[in-house]
Structure 1
Amino acid sequence: MALNIIDLIKGQLGPALISQAASQLGESESGVSKAISGLLPAVVGGLANHASNPNVLDAITGAAPSGMLGNLIGGSSDNSLITTMLTAVFGDKIGGIVNAISTYAGVSNSSSTSLLNMVTGATVGSVGKYAAENNLGASGISNLLADQKDVVSTLLPAGLSLASLGVGNLFGGAEAEKIKVTSFDEPKVEKVEVNRGGNTHMNPNENNNNEGGSIWKWLLPILLLGLAGWFLWNNYNKDSKQEVVTTETSDMVVDSADMMVNDSAAVMTNNQVTDIDLNGKMIKGYANGMEASMINFLKSDGYKNAADDATLKDTWYNFDNVNFKIGSATELETGSEGQIQNLGEILKAYPDAKIKVGGYTDITGDANKNKELSQKRADFIKAELGKLGVAAQVVEAKGYGSEFAKVPAEASNEERAADRKMAVRFTK
């Protein structure tokens, strides 16, 4: 299964960055999050459609040394690489995308423009970083981008479509109103056009007296394809919302120790950043995410009533917004510090509570290296919590590597994601 590069990008667009962007733009965090959820698949789709464009490839290869990911909010609007890429990919359709996202998310046009630049910067920077760290040349980048065509249209949130964004011909169709089904190559498919109103028109130059049922030959597969896309999108939303608490954090792809890609923000487009009440003090986090789940447990006196460690050892709370840089155990991606700080605040609010930090990888790669890296990452989080003044409450940090991995190595990256995580649990 081809790598879904949207998973590379989401780690850059977590709650901390959303909160910062909302504050700077004067928009609600829910509006910013909603705008990003529509912009991200649109930008990736644009890249996929221009996978061989020299300007796009140059922008991506130039992104890694530019430090673009370190200044997504402040440096995206005037970055020449971003401007060049947007022009190359969308041309005169940029205004239509901005207007559509503005209407969809309830943000101003100027905010929509800024967020388009930010998402583009995160996209170009993430792909450029991945290409540099995996020695991908222009042809490798081009192939990686081209592989995204099969997935981006299914990731558009409900209420948005390629046509509504003004890029209905994103995958090569001659008109925005035409629906092109890539698995059907016969010229007859061009006889059927579906306009925005849903009316179907036969080509008036064709004599169809002996083909009265031919319209359904082409229209029915199109309708079935649309229904399948709707079903997949709804199930994607449902699964993401139900599994917010167990979303993994840090380790992904091929060799769990040597080449890792952040995957912790997989719920970003389906979950809202919100204020979480910590005994009267508000902290930012995902609704039903790690912080909210831990606080609810502590408020319920679950920790106080736990008889011993045995009653707590099976309940782990997975970080959903702490992302280490690829292959590193000491460098976090931008915005990751916020969740560690939140955990420190929770421990300060409940000084009797004690926790254990755990690091996990999937079963791929060298088991010893996996365990070593997971231990170093667990130690790092423990040390960061110590700097926040709660060292006495973090009683242990342990890297388990692939010891508890359940998904076989031959499974897809998405299936093995359940085994890759950083987590904490309460202990006595």
Structure 2
Amino acid sequence: MTLFASFNEILNPDVLSRIAVYVDEPTEKTHKAVDGLVYTVVGGLMKRTTTEIGVNQLYNHIQKGRYDGSLTDNLATILRDPALTNTLITQGNDVISHLLPAMKSSIGTMISGYAGIRNSSAISLLGLTTTIVLHVLGKQVKERKLDADGLASSLFAEREAFVNAVPEEFMPRLVEKVGLQQVVSGMAAPARRAAVESPVRPVTYGGAPAGRSVATATRTAVSYEPDTLDNDNSSLAKWGVGALLALVVAAGGYYIYQNTRNYSGDAEEVNSETLISNDTAQADTVTRSLAVPVDMAAKTTPKTAAPASTTPGAANPAGAAAGALTQQLTPYLSNPALPKGRVFPLPGVSFLPGSLSLTPGSQATIGELTTLLKTHPSMQIQLIGYANDAQGGLTNKSLSFKRVYQIKQQLMSSGIDFVRIDAIGRGSGVSRRDTSGVPRPTLRKIDFKVVVK
């Protein structure tokens, strides 16, 4: 049974109705909140286990807290007791503060807005859901006899199911709040605990049998053998050290004397050097401010730019795509009256079927988007990917995530701060929850939304 199938079985209608009564929220909203929290906690733990410290912390909390799945066997009965329910909530909130530090408040706010419940209810549900998630993971540890590395690998084995299970309307805020860009795009992997090695000869301790040694960390061999130098050599060494100290003291006195005499002259030189340095820095700043690339100047003034010369009969799709992007965005960004949130296509950006390889004409548009982001330093965008050509075991949703994240990586490599770029994948654009029966076309494209102008 997969991880999310286990949650569906445990969080049955009877359990959810009891949880709703405890937090005094409608059952439907409670169900939505708990579902969102399951995805949030599992995603957060995936991200946490990308570091060795996170792997150890998760495993230790499961072992020390005795999360072995016993709670899930009689959860409905336990939830009848308000005191026991409160204990589970308190325990879970304490654990989440350690595993996902400084995120409890932001998660509560996110779930409160997503499910339409009170923030206090969201925090209580976070604690309860965390306890349930750890019991499900602890049951896997117990039944499969997993160590810390095995637990992290087992958790990441659910990544594909996680990407496909998270509701489309919830994924963008989940990725943003918890920072799951690398997880959902498949760029992250569980950390492996480093094997402890000892580069020196094993150190044996008294009483240990022959051949048995203890080497818990990298050690520097320390010798306790007596000094082999004779007394004469030792005396000579002492005299040499004394003479050296005397020379150092004499040199220090002479240095202080010379500095005292030349203080005023040095001060004047320092002042003049400071002025020169300041002038140079100002000149460099002006030079950098005027060093606008030729391409940028041409793109920002398309009406006055000279027409590009082309070979007769040869197409120039890259230049057309680049100009199209600037022509779309410039009137919108330069008009403060137009509201933020408008979605634009990335013209000319496409991938080879079923792959992460960009077509040759795509780089021009990505470069132009980089220029626009640098020209408008306050602008923040959200890349939105669609894919309908996944192959093998990869889903369209995962492929769309990987593609937009690859574009984000290129923008970051060009100097754009990662916080200005969000990236989400929406698969083919057809919701799996669509039961209308109306045929809808699948999509394969990259759009971007202007979140902040």
Shorter-chain TM-score range: 0.3 to 0.5
Structure ID, larger Rg: 2
TM-score of the pair, normalised by structure 1: 0.42
Give the structure with the higher percent strand. Answer: 1
Identify the structure with bigger relative contact order (alpha carbons < 8 Å, sequence gap 6+): 1
